[in-house]
Every structure is written in structure tokens, then in C-alpha cells.
Amino acid sequence: MRLVPMTLAAMTALILACGPAAAQWHEVVYPDLGVGKEWPAEPTRTKGEYKTEVVGKEGVPADIFQVEVDMIVYKMTVADLQKLEFVARSASLMGECVFDAEEAGTPLANMTNRVEGGINAVYGRLVSVDLADNKGRRQTACLFTKGRLYIIEATVLPEHGQPNSSQVIRFTNSLRFAIDHDYH
């Protein structure tokens, strides 16, 4: 009789241990920001500011989403750059985002990133660096569309133990801008 509860407890513990990593990834669609994004858990949403040399001293409003799971910090920043002066400079704003990501550490990879295909393709850049001062490994995607700069970052903290975690590439690549239909 004592064996049964222990087995049940062990099974429950096993399910709880295995469950979150696999089951909690889910897509959240943000109609106000024009993006659908997958997360491994519910992120916090805060209002912030995006300020760079090209954006200017005033900065622009930004929505910042973040959650930490298993020593990986998942973050998405959506900077509001819908004014024509910014849209006209969107290529430079994206390029500056990539440059800043490269500057964060020692470059490991740098490649084209594309969301959707064909004439509606949104081209961006995906950068991976080892952060300075052994602060971990970060993968950053920079994309600009719909008058917004989307910065997707996944930082694997040293305590995670696996700098090349597959969760990172899953995060930086799981988004869509075509949100007017269901995901396929």
C-alpha cells in the first residue's frame, strides 16, 4: 500500500519535471504590435524606451517582454518607429541593432534571418556572441517591419551549462508577422 503512493508521487514528480519544458511553449499573438511570438512561459510586459544614436536622444517608446526559464533569459523588445522619419531610415536602424548586438561580445555566428517568404518576406539578421565577462551566450535577431523594430534575444546564462541550447534558436526563430490567419 505504501508502494502505490510512492510510485504515484514519483510519477507526478516526473511529469512535473518533464512537462514544463515541452508543454509550456505556446504562441502569443500581439495584434497591437503586429507579431505572433512563441514563449516557453508567460512573459512580463513592461513599457520602456529604445534610445540609440540613430534613433536620437529623445528615444522612442518600446514594449519589452521577458521571461527566464532554466537559466535562459528570453526577451523581445518592440520599438515604435512608425514616424516617417524613422521608416525612411529603417535599414540603418536595423543595421545599428545588428551592430550593437555584435558589439556585445565575441562574434560566433552572423547570418541572414527571414520571416515569411516571397514578396512579403521580412529580412533581418541573426547574431550570436559570447558575452563579455563570461556572462553567457546571446543570440539576437533584428528585424524591421510595420514601422517597428523587433529585437529578439535569448541569453544562455553560464549556470545553464549548455551554451548552444536548442531552446535559443527555437526562440529567436519562432515568430510571424502575418497574424491575420492561423499559424500553419
Kindly state the DSSP code that residue 66 receives in the 8-state scheme: E
Binding mask 137-166 for another protein (x = CB under 8 A): ------xxxxx-------------------
Q: Give how many residues touch another protein by CB under 8 A.
A: 33
- Beta strand residue intervals within the chain, DSSP E: 26-30, 35-39, 44-50, 60-69, 72-80, 105-115, 122-131, 137-145, 148-156, 175-176
Please pick, from the candidates 20, 25, 29, 54, the single residue that binds another protein as defined by CB under 8 A.
54
158 vs 78: CA distance, rounded Å? 26
85 belongs to the binding site for another protein (CB under 8 A): no
- Please say which residue, 47 or 57, places its beta carbon nearer to another protein: 57
56 belongs to the binding site for another protein (CB under 8 A): yes
| Part of the chain binding another protein (CB under 8 A), chosen from 8-16, 28-36, 41-49, 81-89 | 81-89
Cα–Cα nearest to 115, from 150, 84, 158, 163: 150
Q: Name residues contacting another protein, limited to 87-106 (CB under 8 A).
A: 87-96, 98-99, 102
Residue pair 153/139 in contact by the 8 Å Cβ criterion: yes
Smallest distance from the beta carbon of 92 to another protein, in angstroms? 4
104 vs 183: CA distance, rounded Å? 33
Kindly state the DSSP code that residue 55 receives in the 8-state scheme: T
Smallest distance from the beta carbon of 52 to another protein, in angstroms? 9
What cell numbers appear for 24 in the block?
A: 509550456
Contacting residues toward another protein, per CB under 8 A: 53-54, 56, 84, 87-96, 98-99, 102, 110, 112-114, 118-119, 121-125, 143-147
